[in-house]
Amino acid sequence: MDANVKEDAYLSPEQLTWFKDRLALASTADADKPIFVFLHQPLVHTLGGSDQELGVVQHEELRAILNQYPNVVFFTGHTHWNLETTEQIKQLTFLAVGSSSVREVWNAKNEPEGSAASQSLVVDVFADRIAIQGREHSDKKWLGTPFVKKYGE
């Protein structure tokens, strides 16, 4: 463990090579389908809250890999930022998606809201598209309209 890394993700050269190989395989299997990727920490300067810390030590290398695959949907957490009041879905070359938190949702000032909010995402996968929608569990309500990304057009 490197104490300088703190809460940031550290991806070794071996992990990055493995990841490149897996993405290449997934995109070859069906080029028109989404590729779901999950990492706890977001890439810096992608979503609300992702500029508060580095997030991923090898963020430039990881972004260069992800940029080769426009069908990637890159799900992250860590920031806890509110799905309803901050930018948590952003179309880059790939789609970046923050998942908020089921406990202790944070605001755009990077502070806990102090509310009973409990949020998560629901992802529906169809033959030609995916739909992502936030869910507020404490109020049992949907947050906004679903974000829809179409494939194979």
Q: State the pLDDT at residue 2.
A: 62
Q: State the pLDDT at residue 72.
A: 97
DSSP 1-50: --TTTTTSB---HHHHHHHHHHHHHHHHH-TTS-EEEEESSPPTTSSTTT
pLDDT along the chain (153 residues), means of 10: 76 96 93 94 92 90 97 95 94 96 92 92 96 96 96 78
Q: State the pLDDT at residue 93.
A: 96
Q: State the pLDDT at residue 6.
A: 81
Whole-model pTM: value is 0.93
| Contact residues for 27 (Cβ-Cβ < 8 A; gap 6+) | 35, 69, 71
Domains of the chain: 13-112 (3.30.750.180)
